């Protein structure tokens, strides 16, 4: 009888064991921030394949991998809505600049520049995936350069705009999210409002959306904003301001006026949103300091170096004619050349043009109070505008900087709201579905971090310093970052806009 009784117990235990659900990964007892902005709760998250399979109490479940997360926060993977991390990505497939700060999806094709045709770019990613997901806009500057070539300092003809529209349609059909413009850059700066509106109307009919590095972020900021809002009103499609900034002394303190104008536009039916990064300095070409492209106008140079920034707050990031200038301020270079800062700026641009070289700078043009106010606007999400190879620390530190500075130190945002601005709001603002929220059947893009220690470490002097406090990052269910290192897995996919026939 004892043998029979033991056999029965064994069979019952076996049936119970067989009935226990089994997953690939269970993250146990995490403090879960689901991405919606709702209060956090303690629970378990199960991953099966590339999806979130269950959320809640999974104490009865088993898994191939169990992660004990007591004391750690679990959030959806961060979505970088304005990224340049695709630069060199096939050589840096682990995408450490992204994953080390919790980013699992990047949106490229920004500032009006994209790969063309996008179908080829997407196929390259399909065949050689990287550690994060990638979506892209189609860039107006790329289209304009392809059609007008070197003869771009003029108004495009109707036939040329038609050709741009044809190219854009092909990229939208390939899965581009919409149209991006960089109207402060060549060749887009020479486009008329009518040209941009024509492309935007076609984009809207194709079901796309609009994102813009506006025509001005300083001298002509308000007219530039009006241009974007007009596009939103005329086309009905969502419009997003890229890396929103008030980048001139005369604009400082006007973030309240900006937020009021954006709220009024939304009340009038314009679906306007924004993204922003948490730094007072930007990185771009020296030429953006001259909106009228008058590079030999000393008064324009002097205005830029007194009202937009100052010579001791401009850092040379890249200067191919003389790489010894890199890392120095414009003031230091001017002293070396025994010239005034305005004349030095003009000379540097002239020398780069003569040699067909490359240049870029970092420059302080914003104030913290405005950045924080813009970041707190309910419809503004966080972006990096960063890359893995530049001197700007945003490439490695944006998202962890927000968690350190705006959440833990300054209380600008609650942790729930900061995560919403990095996840579900980001996804909504660029039209990405099934990501940005911890929810059953969503893709398993997740970041596990310590809210008490998470912090950026990157600086202009050491821009590639890895953040602290990021414990684990999963992309489509696979662990891609752990112990401050990439894992060597490349589960990222192309996120294509769903094209309606």
Domains contained in the chain, CATH given:
76-280+366-486 (3.20.20.140), 284-364 (no CATH)
Predicted confidence at residue 14, as pLDDT, reads: 44
- Residue of 384, 363, 175 lying closest to 275 (CA atoms): 384
Cα 319 to Cα 384: distance, rounded to the nearest angstrom? 23
CA–CA separation, 337 and 22 (whole Å): 69
pLDDT digit string (tens) for the chain, length 501 residues: 444 444 343 333 344 445 799 999 999 999 999 999 999 999 999 999 999 999 999 999 999 999 999 999 999 999 999 999 999 999 999 999 999 999 999 999 999 999 999 999 999 999 999 999 999 999 999 999 999 999 999 999 999 999 999 999 999 999 999 999 999 999 999 999 999 999 999 999 999 999 999 999 999 999 999 999 999 999 999 999 999 999 999 999 999 999 999 999 999 999 999 999 999 999 999 999 999 999 999 999 999 999 999 999 999 999 999 999 999 999 999 999 999 999 999 999 999 999 999 999 999 999 999 999 999 999 999 999 999 999 999 999 999 999 999 999 999 999 999 999 999 999 999 999 999 999 999 999 999 999 999 999 999 999 999 999 999 999 999 999 999 999 999 999 999 998 754
Contact 196, 183 (CB under 8 A): yes
The Cβ of residue 336 has, within 10 Å, a number of other Cβ atoms equal to: 13
For position 8, what pLDDT does the model report?
A: 40
| Cα–Cα dist 432/495, whole Å | 8
**Could you give the CA distance from residue 404 to residue 454 in angstroms, rounded to a whole number?**
6
pLDDT of residue 41: 98
């Amino acid at each position: 009888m004892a043998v029979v009784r033991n056999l029965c117990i064994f069979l019952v235990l076996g049936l119970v064991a067989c009935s226990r659900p089994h997953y690939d990964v269970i993250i146990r007892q995490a403090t879960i921030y689901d991405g919606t902005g709702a209060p956090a709760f303690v629970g378990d998250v199960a991953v099966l394949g590339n999806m979130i399979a269950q959320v809640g109490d999974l104490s009865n479940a088993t898994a191939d991998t169990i992660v004990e997360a007591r004391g750690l926060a679990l959030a959806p993977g961060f979505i970088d809505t304005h990224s340049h991390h695709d630069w060199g990505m096939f050589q840096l497939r682990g995408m450490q600049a992204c994953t080390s700060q919790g980013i699992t999806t990047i949106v490229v094709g920004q500032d009006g520049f994209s790969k063309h045709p996008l179908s080829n770019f997407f196929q390259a990613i399909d065949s050689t995936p990287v550690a994060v997901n990638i979506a892209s806009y189609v860039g107006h500057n790329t289209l304009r350069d392809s059609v007008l070539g070197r003869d771009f300092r003029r108004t495009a003809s109707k036939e040329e705009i038609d050709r741009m529209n044809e190219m854009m349609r092909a990229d939208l059909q390939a899965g581009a999210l919409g149209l991006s413009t960089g109207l402060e850059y060549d060749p887009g700066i020479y486009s008329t409002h009518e040209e941009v509106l024509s492309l935007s109307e076609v984009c809207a009919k194709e079901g796309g959306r609009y994102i813009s590095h506006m025509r001005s972020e300083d001298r002509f900021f308000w007219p530039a904003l009006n241009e974007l809002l007009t596009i939103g009103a005329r086309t009905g499609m969502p419009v997003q301001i890229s890396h929103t900034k008030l980048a001139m002394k005369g604009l400082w303190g006007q973030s309240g006026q900006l937020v009021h104008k954006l709220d009024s536009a939304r009340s009038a039916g314009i679906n306007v949103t924004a993204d922003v990064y948490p730094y007072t300095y930007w990185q771009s070409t020296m030429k953006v300091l001259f909106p009228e492209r008058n590079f030999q106008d000393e008064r324009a140079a002097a205005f830029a170096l007194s009202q937009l920034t100052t010579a001791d707050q401009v850092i040379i990031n890249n200067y191919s004619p003389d790489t010894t200038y890199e890392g120095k301020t414009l003031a230091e270079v001017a002293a070396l050349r025994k010239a005034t800062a305005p004349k030095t700026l003009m000379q540097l641009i002239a020398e780069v043009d003569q040699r067909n070289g490359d240049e870029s700078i970092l420059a302080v043009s914003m104030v913290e109070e405005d950045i924080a106010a813009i970041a707190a606007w309910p419809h503004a999400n966080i972006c990096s505008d960063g890359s893995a190879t530049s001197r700007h620390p945003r490439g490695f530190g944006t998202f962890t900087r927000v968690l350190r500075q705006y959440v833990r130190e300054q209380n600008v945002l609650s942790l729930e709201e900061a995560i919403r601005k990095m996840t579900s709001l980001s996804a909504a603002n660029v039209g990405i579905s099934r990501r940005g929220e911890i929810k059953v059947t969503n893709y398993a893009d997740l970041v596990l971090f310590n809210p008490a220690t998470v912090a950026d470490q990157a600086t202009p002097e050491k821009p590639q310093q890895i953040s602290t406090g990021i414990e684990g990052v999963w992309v489509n269910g696979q662990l891609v970052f752990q112990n401050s290192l990439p894992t060597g897995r490349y589960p990222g996919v192309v996120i294509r806009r769903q094209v309606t026939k």
